[in-house]
Structure 1
């Protein structure tokens, strides 16, 4: 593990102006916060962020990135907060740490959802600052180096699979091939242990039998180029074990039939020397047709530049040769990190477009499975090149179609595609594109993505966009059905349902908007009673199985009275069955029944208080309401209709105030019980005719 002074010295070597005190404070902070925490290896936990910071110094990144690497696990694994980070190290470091940090709630999600949500947050942060990705890749690389200390084989395989599916491809897409190869090798060892042992064993056997064959071939290549007047460096190695295994799997070959397991790299001084060296190689040895690729004139999306060719060496041995300049080699091995593109704010156009596509995929994906699928498709495919009629170049995965091309140009163009011309000829949309094709997209004003496109599009961006469009169309159709069903449901509610009632129902059901409500009804996520209850709370309490309300009767009895003693319901509070009640007994006047919260009870009445309750079958009483209507034609009729629908009879009605734009009424209403009265109040409050309704 790097010591504190060693880390600071590394940074100062390439950045003499770095804030030494701030770096020291960050080192001490992570040591203190992680305290006695241990890793699976038994090492102190803080050794991990320190090693990640060391990896960032190898890339010669700025001090904010080094500090972020030191602090990247403090928010997730200690009591530190983003606010703490910001107050101690500034808002830029806090933003970067937040981008790398996993949300704590992610840990409680199912595995795929957790991975998807983590990836979603990571991609969004990465789109704002590529340094988030660089720290994350360093974090994952060091975790992979210590993966063998984890005891659970299942956990090791899960982490290895995530690395293989997401992080190694991400490293490749930003040109960090050193990181990519090491991650793949370490993940391969866990995912396919038997294949790993077999291939590495065979490679070791070849090394022993060959007796320096790689070095001998490298020397021969260097001599041939020197004779042509080219000063170059040549190095060779066996191909990556995972690369060999992939080739065996893709071509269904045994190890003995994989012929080009050796690869050589030629480092030249200039770009012109690269092409000159290629000419020497092709005239000295036979090259294999179809194996030559010029990534200097047409770089990969991640900025990778090199010439690739495969030669037939002595005894029909196939070898792969890569030719590049020293500057290209630095960029090819460490990608974006090699030239600090983020510092200038001018990331290569290919990178900007790729990141933009990933963010569109994040927005368009419906669930965890889709997000992971589309993202893997976007970051892990071999490429071809196709052009617009005006000469703009687009890189696409092998097998891409005109529809994929249209979505690569712009999402709106993809959505409006109705046809395509490939090299000037009308061709089916499902036609796979080839290198160098010129593609002209024909669009229609009212066109929309078709479900059938999912049968042939291959890019994650196209699949995500098509699925989203199809879902929105299906949702609109289901919502339209739900709207018709809603009209039938609303007709059975004892109230006239307006926009206000619908807004309140949406809130009660915790939905987004009215369209969401209609979709929930159309897709049978809500039944009729749930919708009616949301529109007018309490309205379904006494409904029978056919959705009808029982006929109303009136029969009042009071428990707690001496047999033969008369009673009357107080007109000050108008108690109804269901209210808590007390009795007031005055000499010669019988018993007056009040609601327990009646204001008259607080006025110090000189009377005996009786503890009363309603008889078991008590129904029917008069409740008093105050209702404020909007002062416009028809509102009084709307209120009357609500009473009729609820089988309630108006005994008295008095307009107590008219103050534009309102008119207020106090009324006595025959109801069965408190529940009945409450339902009527709910129906009144749901009506667009009513501004306010309350019991008095």
Structure 2
């Protein structure tokens, strides 16, 4: 096995070109591209691509890349990558112009006038948001990705141009400063390679992964590369013999098929060693081949032929033709045992091969002769992009959105069935809650239980391929916040958060109404007596869209109820509190202690029903309740004005935590006596801690659950009656 300790050192000057080949050379010309395009585009469209090149060349005049090449070599190389995928002329024009808006100051409108709206929209979709100041690089990355997602929803070619742009940048990353190389490589492995995989673009995905790996770990990459080269030479004879036997078997059965050796990628080898704890030789001792044939029927016939030649390993056969992967990938996979080694074989048609390598880009390759495979692949991508848009709408901000997207870019899928036999694709590790949200958001929100293969199962257990899953719903049910700890799909996560945010909104409205009602009562009025024009003026002054938004802001602690009440009463737009005592007039706000997400109890003084209490609004988080004698309450006039006087409801049955300090004489069994006394008073001990004071005395700290001051007094009386107890008091920090 390769020793990982050997990988620890870094060669920061190790360039990517030395490992995986250089970029398109600086001598490459637009005429060379035109010649390549002539194989599938007409002269008029090639001339449009030429025109875009000369426009970009003029716009980037004088700009150089860090490598010393003229800047125009980069757009030209990006266009070459798209030409290899046989993309349409508008995508190639956008490739030529993709940095013009960002780097040369030429506006989008100018491109629209010159090259049409479609090309200008593609260029704008790929361009970064360079005019906005962001708080952090992560926020900038997230905002740019969100912008690109919107553009993708309008035109999927945006992401194809972006992937080609990123691929060429990764190929020429060598001259960049070390920190920038690491940042770009990390972003590539986190976002762009998984997106390429999600779009079924295997060729681009594996190259991005290998380039990213070699940038992050140049030493490890070079070491694995040399080891692969060495093994390839020593294994050549056995590879040739297996290929010869497979070819003979196909000819014997009269089956068409070309046999290709399959290279293992450096990043894939490294990940198997790291995450599957496999040695290098374990991975490399599997011989991989791909057989490309004419029709789907031939695929299954070839499968029978190879199974008659070598024994198949049980449980290692996968039929991705009958059940394609989520990214549209189709193939038969089987693992055989022969000649004392394992042999992995993939069997697919020519069209499946194109789609496996080029994914969604194959849609343009087959555009003139559309097939059911490409249209199904296109619809899968459309569903994925639609899912991205739903997540974007539910997310609070771009950072939350990109977090959901990263979660959703899983490489492996499982296949489960609905009770009616429909196949559902889910990422590996998905749970019944993910399944429910995959069917419909409303079903996910109302889920209360599930059946797996007709037996009741846990909502948190990961599903396995082949299981039949039935979701049980109940009207009025709501998502449990605990679900966020085990769901894996972005859709489930964003939907749960969306409902919890709405719940918070409802609670903030209720709390805000109670606080505003109390403040208005202090002025001798109520909201129903305030004119609509006065309400509209206050809403406008506070720069919110509605009175409900303003009331919700009060409940969240972002605005003071007293100030809003005074604005409503006076009709004036006052912005500062005068420190008046008017706020304290009127009856206190009643609390039950079970108000939900927005009413919390301070851990410093641990108030309980019966204690005189006040509330202090915590910006964005609602109300924190303190005992009115708490040392942490503000003492200045402005701070005291923010306090809300509260009273407890009469019928509270919930339990509250109280900390007690008990001083006692150290005797055998005294701790058990204390615990028994609490139990006899119907109390419940949450935590107990014993400290030695000296050889004769000790101190016991107790946290007990009680439902009010009277209950607490009963508990303390029971403890005080123990003969060994010398002193007891309630702890308030």
How would you bin the TM-score normalised by the shorter chain? 0.7 to 0.9
Judged with a 3 Å threshold, the aligned counterparts in structure 2 of structure 1 residues 515 and 193 are, in CA distance, closer, same or farther, namely farther
SS where residue 469 of structure 2 aligns?
Answer: strand
Please state if 1:318 is matched with 2:349. Answer: no
Q: 1:269 aligns with which of 294, 298, 302?
A: 294
Aligned match of 1:59? 85
Correspondence 1:518-533 to 2 at 5 A: 518-527=551-560, 531=564
Moved more, 266-275 or 158-167: 266-275
SS where residue 239 of structure 1 aligns?
Answer: coil
SS where residue 170 of structure 2 aligns?
Answer: helix
Q: 2:414 aligns with which of 377, 384, 391?
A: 384
Please state if 1:411 is matched with 2:441. Answer: yes
Whether the 8 Å CA contact 1:508–1:534 is kept in 2: the answer is: no
Q: 1:118 aligns with which of 131, 138, 144?
A: 144
Moved more, 525-534 or 363-372: 525-534
What's the CA shift for 1:366? 2.4
Please state if 1:72 is matched with 2:98. Answer: yes
Please give the alpha-carbon distance, in whole angstroms, between the structure 2 residues aligned to 1:524 and 1:26.
Answer: 55
What's the CA shift for 1:121? 1.5
Judged with a 3 Å threshold, the aligned counterparts in structure 2 of structure 1 residues 384 and 106 are, in CA distance, closer, same or farther, namely farther
Judged with a 3 Å threshold, the aligned counterparts in structure 2 of structure 1 residues 386 and 107 are, in CA distance, closer, same or farther, namely farther
What's the CA shift for 1:537? 4.2
Aligned match of 1:457? 487
Please give the alpha-carbon distance, in whole angstroms, between the structure 1 residues aligned to 2:397 and 2:274.
Answer: 31
What's the CA shift for 1:421? 3.1
Runs of 5+ consecutive residues of structure 1 not aligned to the other structure: 550-696
SS where residue 335 of structure 2 aligns?
Answer: strand
Q: 1:154 aligns with which of 162, 179, 182?
A: 179
Please give the alpha-carbon distance, in whole angstroms, between the structure 2 residues aligned to 1:480 and 1:219.
Answer: 77
Please state if 1:543 is matched with 2:544. Answer: no
Whether the 8 Å CA contact 2:419–2:468 is kept in 1: the answer is: yes
The Cα offsets for residues 655-676 of structure 1, whole Å up to 9 and x where unpaired, read as xxxxxxxxxxxxxxxxxxxxxx
Please give the alpha-carbon distance, in whole angstroms, between the structure 2 residues aligned to 1:49 and 1:471.
Answer: 44
Correspondence 1:582-597 to 2 at 5 A: none
SS where residue 104 of structure 1 aligns?
Answer: coil
Whether the 8 Å CA contact 2:363–2:378 is kept in 1: the answer is: no
Please give the alpha-carbon distance, in whole angstroms, between the structure 1 residues aligned to 2:88 and 2:513.
Answer: 58
Aligned length: 547
Whether the 8 Å CA contact 1:175–1:303 is kept in 2: the answer is: yes
SS where residue 400 of structure 1 aligns?
Answer: coil
What's the CA shift for 1:286? 2.6
The Cα offsets for residues 294-347 of structure 1, whole Å up to 9 and x where unpaired, read as 1111111222111112222323x2232111111211111111111328897956
Please state if 1:89 is matched with 2:126. Answer: no
What's the CA shift for 1:154? 1.7
Please give the alpha-carbon distance, in whole angstroms, between the structure 2 residues aligned to 1:509 and 1:376.
Answer: 37
Please give the alpha-carbon distance, in whole angstroms, between the structure 2 residues aligned to 1:99 and 1:111.
Answer: 19
Aligned match of 1:448? 478
Aligned match of 1:469? 499
Please state if 1:396 is matched with 2:431. Answer: no
Whether the 8 Å CA contact 2:336–2:342 is kept in 1: the answer is: yes
Judged with a 3 Å threshold, the aligned counterparts in structure 2 of structure 1 residues 485 and 182 are, in CA distance, closer, same or farther, namely same
Judged with a 3 Å threshold, the aligned counterparts in structure 2 of structure 1 residues 530 and 48 are, in CA distance, closer, same or farther, namely farther
Aligned match of 1:513? 546
SS where residue 474 of structure 1 aligns?
Answer: helix
Moved more, 240-249 or 269-278: 269-278
Correspondence 1:86-485 to 2 at 5 A: 86-105=112-131, 108-151=134-177, 153-211=178-236, 213-258=238-283, 260-315=285-340, 317-340=341-364, 346=375, 348-485=378-515
Judged with a 3 Å threshold, the aligned counterparts in structure 2 of structure 1 residues 349 and 451 are, in CA distance, closer, same or farther, namely same
SS where residue 502 of structure 1 aligns?
Answer: helix
What's the CA shift for 1:406? 1.6
What's the CA shift for 1:374? 1.3
Please give the alpha-carbon distance, in whole angstroms, between the structure 1 residues aligned to 2:575 and 2:266.
Answer: 69
Whether the 8 Å CA contact 1:178–1:333 is kept in 2: the answer is: yes
Please give the alpha-carbon distance, in whole angstroms, between the structure 2 residues aligned to 1:206 and 1:334.
Answer: 29
What's the CA shift for 1:123? 1.6
Whether the 8 Å CA contact 1:106–1:118 is kept in 2: the answer is: no
What root-mean-square deviation, in Å, do the aligned CA atoms of Structure 1 and Structure 2 show? 2.6
Whether the 8 Å CA contact 2:299–2:347 is kept in 1: the answer is: yes
Whether the 8 Å CA contact 2:410–2:428 is kept in 1: the answer is: no
SS where residue 93 of structure 1 aligns?
Answer: helix
SS where residue 473 of structure 1 aligns?
Answer: helix
Judged with a 3 Å threshold, the aligned counterparts in structure 2 of structure 1 residues 522 and 64 are, in CA distance, closer, same or farther, namely same
How high is the TM-score relative to the length of structure 2? 0.70
Please give the alpha-carbon distance, in whole angstroms, between the structure 2 residues aligned to 1:236 and 1:518.
Answer: 68
What's the CA shift for 1:425? 3.5
The Cα offsets for residues 184-223 of structure 1, whole Å up to 9 and x where unpaired, read as 0000112233432332232122134335554443333323
Judged with a 3 Å threshold, the aligned counterparts in structure 2 of structure 1 residues 179 and 429 are, in CA distance, closer, same or farther, namely same
Whether the 8 Å CA contact 2:453–2:468 is kept in 1: the answer is: yes
SS where residue 298 of structure 1 aligns?
Answer: coil
Judged with a 3 Å threshold, the aligned counterparts in structure 2 of structure 1 residues 107 and 18 are, in CA distance, closer, same or farther, namely farther
Please give the alpha-carbon distance, in whole angstroms, between the structure 1 residues aligned to 2:577 and 2:358.
Answer: 72
Whether the 8 Å CA contact 1:358–1:375 is kept in 2: the answer is: yes
What's the CA shift for 1:547? 5.2
Please give the alpha-carbon distance, in whole angstroms, between the structure 2 residues aligned to 1:143 and 1:492.
Answer: 66
The Cα offsets for residues 376-428 of structure 1, whole Å up to 9 and x where unpaired, read as 12122310112223333220012212221121122222222233333333433
SS where residue 14 of structure 1 aligns?
Answer: coil
Aligned match of 1:670? none
Aligned match of 1:13? 39
The Cα offsets for residues 630-674 of structure 1, whole Å up to 9 and x where unpaired, read as xxxxxxxxxxxxxxxxxxxxxxxxxxxxxxxxxxxxxxxxxxxxx
Please give the alpha-carbon distance, in whole angstroms, between the structure 2 residues aligned to 1:494 and 1:85.
Answer: 63
Correspondence 1:609-688 to 2 at 5 A: none
What's the CA shift for 1:468? 1.3
SS where residue 38 of structure 1 aligns?
Answer: coil
Whether the 8 Å CA contact 1:112–1:368 is kept in 2: the answer is: no
Judged with a 3 Å threshold, the aligned counterparts in structure 2 of structure 1 residues 421 and 543 are, in CA distance, closer, same or farther, namely same
SS where residue 184 of structure 1 aligns?
Answer: helix
Please give the alpha-carbon distance, in whole angstroms, between the structure 2 residues aligned to 1:265 and 1:412.
Answer: 44
Whether the 8 Å CA contact 1:490–1:497 is kept in 2: the answer is: no
Please give the alpha-carbon distance, in whole angstroms, between the structure 2 residues aligned to 1:244 and 1:179.
Answer: 17
Whether the 8 Å CA contact 1:238–1:261 is kept in 2: the answer is: no
What's the CA shift for 1:359? 1.4
Whether the 8 Å CA contact 1:404–1:459 is kept in 2: the answer is: yes
Please give the alpha-carbon distance, in whole angstroms, between the structure 2 residues aligned to 1:376 and 1:23.
Answer: 34
- Specify the structure having the higher radius of gyration (Cα): 1
What's the CA shift for 1:444? 2.6
Whether the 8 Å CA contact 2:512–2:561 is kept in 1: the answer is: no
Judged with a 3 Å threshold, the aligned counterparts in structure 2 of structure 1 residues 333 and 541 are, in CA distance, closer, same or farther, namely closer
Please give the alpha-carbon distance, in whole angstroms, between the structure 1 residues aligned to 2:206 and 2:51.
Answer: 34
Please give the alpha-carbon distance, in whole angstroms, between the structure 2 residues aligned to 1:506 and 1:102.
Answer: 36
